[in-house]
Amino acid sequence: MNLLPSALVYAGLVSAFVSIISVIKPIPIRPLRTRRRSLLTLLASFCALIAGFMFPASETRVEAAQARLDEFVPVYQFNEFHTVRVRASREQVYAAIRAVTPSEIRLFKTLTWIGRRGRATPPSIMNAPDGIPIIDTATHTGFLLLSEDPGKEIVFGFAMSRKMSAKSPEQFRAFQSQNGARVAMNFRVEPSGDKECILTTETRIYTTGEPAHRVFRAYWRVIYPGSSLIRRMWLRAIRLRAESMAQ
């Protein structure tokens, strides 16, 4: 349930902006023809904003581990999942996962620049150089390589709070620092028919402590649309590279 609260936040922001302009100079639109109506619309906009930011994010628990990601973040409050079909072998798809660079991902620089306004993404992703595979950059700087099953799945992430951060996969599993977060992302390849695969990516976040949960919940409502688009473009880049290899 990511789209609804984010839609409320962005609808509230746009509506509030237009309403403020209309309070200064009424706009010839029915709900905004008078300053009184504009003020009522502004109030409704703030209500939509508050509803979006306060929309509950309950815990989801994995009952039985089916992927490596399940072993590292079996409980989470925030996640996103994307999938694409690729006309290439499992080995080619996995090689493409490992080889894709930031320049192959549409809008990557723009969206990660916007993401700098928050603090949930380490600088390693935001500042990834164009000529180096993005996963290599991530796992040599801000992210931990949590698990790798070549040809099947790779998992990377980070766990941190103001006081400490995880330095190994074992510390990541055990991380419970107050007011922190565990963030993990995977790419997983499953065969589907003759020389075709299903490529998926999932990101999961578990926050520890109510203050961290409230802050990240608000942040997630704002960045989710951009985050979702980056991951879709990332999958697209992997698909194009893998299918090029297959040809």
Return the pLDDT at 95: 97
DSSP character for 165?
B
Give per-residue pLDDT as tens, 98-153.
Answer: 999 998 998 777 766 655 544 444 445 656 677 889 999 989 888 999 999 999 99
Return the pLDDT at 119: 46
| CATH class of the domain defined by 60-246 | alpha beta
Give per-residue pLDDT as tens, 154-191.
Answer: 999 999 998 889 999 999 999 988 889 999 999 999 99
Residue type, 107: L
The whole-number average pLDDT for the span 85-110 is: 92
Give per-residue pLDDT as tens, 211-230.
Answer: 999 999 999 999 999 889 99
Q: Given pLDDT bands bounded at 50, 70 and 90, which one contains residue 30?
A: confident
Return the pLDDT at 37: 87
Task: Say how far apart CA 14 and CA 151 lie, in whole Å.
Answer: 45
Q: Per-domain residue ranges for the chain?
A: 3-54, 60-246
The percent of residues above 90 in pLDDT, for the chain, comes to: 69
Report which of residues 141 and 90 the model is more confident about. Answer: 90
Q: What is the mean pLDDT of the chain?
A: 89
Provide the token pair at 135: 């996963």
Q: What angle do CA 232, 235, 240 make, to 5 degrees?
A: 125
Task: Say how far apart CA 61 and CA 76 lie, in whole Å.
Answer: 7
Provide the token pair at 75: 């409980």
Return the pLDDT at 126: 59
Alpha-carbon distances of 237 from 179, 199, 230, rounded to whole Å: 35, 12, 10
